[in-house]
């Protein structure tokens, strides 16, 4: 029996994906609780808290496929929590079962299971954010110069470009990606506190803290300084992070809904036969994805509030608020991932009607450049008088449907100060974009852990770009071919054969500032239009981990000078590629060395 839109056979794919549902399924949750119990036993075996062989024995015996879910559900109904019923079954499976759940409490296991689920959920969200960044980057580049009306209070304000609008969307998604990098080490914490958080069940010494640290290592979670049974800010931060994503997606969805209305007609969602169709009106193509995204955005904000309520806990163990997370967290992840899926679909196939944008831009007969005229006139008559003159001209244009330029040309007060050529220039929307394209380019070219301007595919101008930049728990061993573009033109090419190490946590040291705060050599060279190949130095007695083989248009001396200016220790040698630049990690570019590749 299905009772909600999330697991409904009818609605579930509108609000989620199979991938994210599997992460938060009953079987997945129970599997994560088993992982918590087995990891605890291994940690305690390592430290001699329980017999050395017990941890491995428990790990081998305890499998989710052996769980009787009907029994688990029935006993959970009685107990109110699933851990005791689960432990009862695990003990029956294992000869060393008496050492299962040693010193732990129910909330320890349930919190760890939730953390493991949330980590997997955030990996999916990370992947989707990266894909959306790629999609929005392409849109921002493609429509960088496509004029359209900017609107405030639903009325024409000033000219913008559709690329600028997409870059605004993109900038928020880039920030969400950065937030994800920041919150994971802060929020993905192991939980082990025992009955009241003090770890007294494991002794009156440092043993409990050592077990918790070892448990964190076993599960690859972060080890907190203190138990967080009733300090739920980390969970609340994750829920609010998902709500922030939902807010950004909801903004895009609302824009698409309004812009796809018949009266505006500037964009429409990808055409799929019968998608958005009406049961009675054959002409309808409703913006279904955007409608779902908008609903998801509201749900995420509501759930964030529930989790915030759960922070208000009594004493050392909550008597109810914790339960809010059981509902809100899985639902938020499914809804957020589903909304990202719908947004990627809508934006990757977005139908953009640039002709309609231009028509709408001119539909107010020049009123959209009224500010431009006012600012052009202000140096001659003062800002306030200029405002009044242009205001009266706009009023006349609205009342008579006459073009603004024609009315302005009739004003002696205006043409006595500004000649016709200058006035017509002021009335050209393309000449009143301010820094829109500059800001658009800045967002497009922003570097980040998502792989600069492309992920697994294309550069912003459609050429092959960065390949293999996706992160999986910080373990990446891919070849990367990267092209750095400015305004759609490839200024430099980097071919890098490299290995990403776990310590880097998925962030390429190609873009990673080193511990001294300088940009690394690769980035410096890339920004200076050098063609660079990075190779491993197989020499065991070499002090250098990597060698930069460089052929530069500007000459090797220029490259050497560049490296010296960036505090690198450089040796210039001959080789099959001509001169070879060897950059020492000790020269301030520690991120070049795997041993020093710390974020």
| Residue 153 bears catalytic tag | yes
CA dist 5 and 434 (Å) reads: 46
- Only one residue has tokens 């017509």, namely 424
Considering the candidates 4, 278, 416, 542, report the single residue annotated as catalytic: 278
Q: To the nearest 10°, the Cα dihedral for 310, 311, 314, 317?
A: 80
CA dist 456 and 461 (Å) reads: 14
Q: Which helix (H) or strand (E) holds 371?
A: helix 370-381
- Only one residue has tokens 């041993």, namely 595
Cα end-to-end span (Å), the chain: 48
- The values of phi and psi at residue 505, to 5°, are 55, 40
Beta bridge partners of 151: 156
Q: Which helix (H) or strand (E) holds 393?
A: helix 383-400
Please name the residues in contact with 523: beta carbons below 8 A apart, sequence gap of 6 or more: 447, 510, 511
CB atoms within 10 A of CB 381: 16
DSSP for 97-132 reads: GGGTTTT--HHHHHHHHHHHHHHHHHHHHHHHHHHH
| Contacts of the segment 400-405: beta carbons below 8 A, 24+ positions apart | 401/365, 402/365, 403/365, 403/366, 404/365, 404/366, 404/367, 404/369, 404/370, 404/373, 405/366
| Residue 593 bears catalytic tag | no
Give me the half-sphere count of Cα atoms (radius 13 Å) on the Cβ side of residue 90: 29
- Only one residue has tokens 């000033």, namely 158
- Only one residue has tokens 């009907």, namely 70
CA dist 218 and 41 (Å) reads: 10
CA dist 418 and 413 (Å) reads: 9
Catalytic residues: 153, 278
């Amino acid at each position: 029996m299905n009772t909600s839109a999330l697991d409904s056979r009818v609605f579930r794919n509108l609000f989620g994906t199979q991938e994210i549902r599997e992460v938060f399924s009953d079987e997945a949750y129970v599997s994560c609780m088993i992982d918590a119990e087995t990891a605890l036993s291994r940690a305690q075996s390592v430290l001699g808290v329980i017999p050395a062989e017990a941890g491995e024995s428990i790990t081998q015996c305890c499998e989710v496929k052996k769980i009787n879910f009907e029994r688990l559900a029935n006993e959970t109904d009685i107990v109110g929590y699933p851990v005791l019923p689960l432990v009862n079954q695990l003990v029956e499976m294992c000869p060393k079962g008496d050492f299962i759940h040693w010193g732990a409490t129910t909330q320890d296991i349930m919190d760890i299971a939730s953390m493991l689920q949330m980590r997997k959920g955030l990996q999916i969200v990370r992947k989707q954010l990266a894909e959306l960044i790629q999609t929005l980057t392409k849109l921002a580049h493609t429509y960088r110069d496509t004029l359209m009306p900017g609107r405030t209070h639903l009325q024409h304000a000033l000219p913008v470009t559709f690329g600028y609008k997409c870059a605004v969307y993109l900038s928020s998604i880039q920030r969400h990606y950065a937030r994800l990098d920041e919150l994971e080490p802060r929020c993905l914490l192991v939980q082990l506190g025992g009955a009241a958080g003090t770890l007294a069940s494991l002794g009156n010494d440092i043993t409990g803290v050592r077990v918790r640290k070892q448990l964190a290592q076993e599960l690859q979670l972060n080890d907190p300084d203190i138990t967080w049974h009733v300090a739920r800010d980390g969970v609340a931060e994750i829920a609010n992070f998902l709500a922030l994503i939902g807010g950004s997606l909801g903004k895009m969805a609302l824009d698409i809904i309004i812009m796809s209305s018949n009266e505006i007609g500037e964009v429409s969602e990808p055409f799929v036969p019968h998608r958005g169709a009406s049961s009675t009106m054959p002409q309808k193509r409703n913006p279904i994805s955007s409608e779902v995204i908008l609903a998801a955005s509201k749900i995420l904000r509501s759930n964030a509030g529930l989790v915030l309520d759960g922070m208000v806990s009594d004493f050392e163990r909550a008597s109810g608020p914790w339960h809010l997370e059981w509902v809100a967290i899985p639902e938020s992840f499914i809804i957020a991932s589903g909304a990202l899926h719908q947004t990627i679909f809508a934006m990757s196939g977005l139908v953009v009607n640039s002709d309609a944008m231009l028509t709408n831009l001119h539909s107010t007969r020049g009123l959209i450049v009224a500010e431009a005229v006012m600012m052009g006139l202000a140096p001659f008559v003062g800002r306030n008088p200029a405002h009044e003159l242009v205001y009266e001209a706009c009023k006349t244009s609205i009342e008579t449907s006459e073009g603004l330029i024609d009315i302005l040309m009739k004003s002696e007060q205006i043409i006595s100060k500004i000649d016709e050529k200058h006035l017509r220039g002021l009335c050209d929307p393309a000449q009143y974009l301010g820094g829109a394209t500059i800001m658009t380019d800045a967002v497009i070219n922003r570097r980040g852990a998502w792989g600069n301007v492309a992920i697994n595919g294309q550069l912003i101008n459609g050429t092959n770009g960065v390949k293999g930049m996706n992160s999986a728990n910080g373990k990446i061993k891919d070849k990367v071919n990267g092209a750095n573009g400015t305004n759609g033109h490839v200024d430099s090419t980097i071919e890098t054969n490299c290995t990403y190490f776990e310590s880097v946590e998925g962030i390429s040291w190609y873009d990673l500032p080193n511990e001294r705060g300088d940009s690394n050599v690769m980035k410096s060279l890339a920004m200076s239009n050098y063609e660079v190949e990075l190779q491993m130095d197989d020499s065991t007695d070499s002090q250098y981990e990597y060698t930069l083989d460089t052929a530069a248009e500007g000459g090797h001396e220029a490259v050497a000078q560049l490296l010296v200016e960036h505090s690198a220790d450089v040796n210039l040698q001959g080789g099959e590629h001509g001169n070879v630049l060897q950059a020492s990690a000790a020269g301030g570019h520690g991120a070049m060395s795997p041993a020093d590749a710390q974020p």
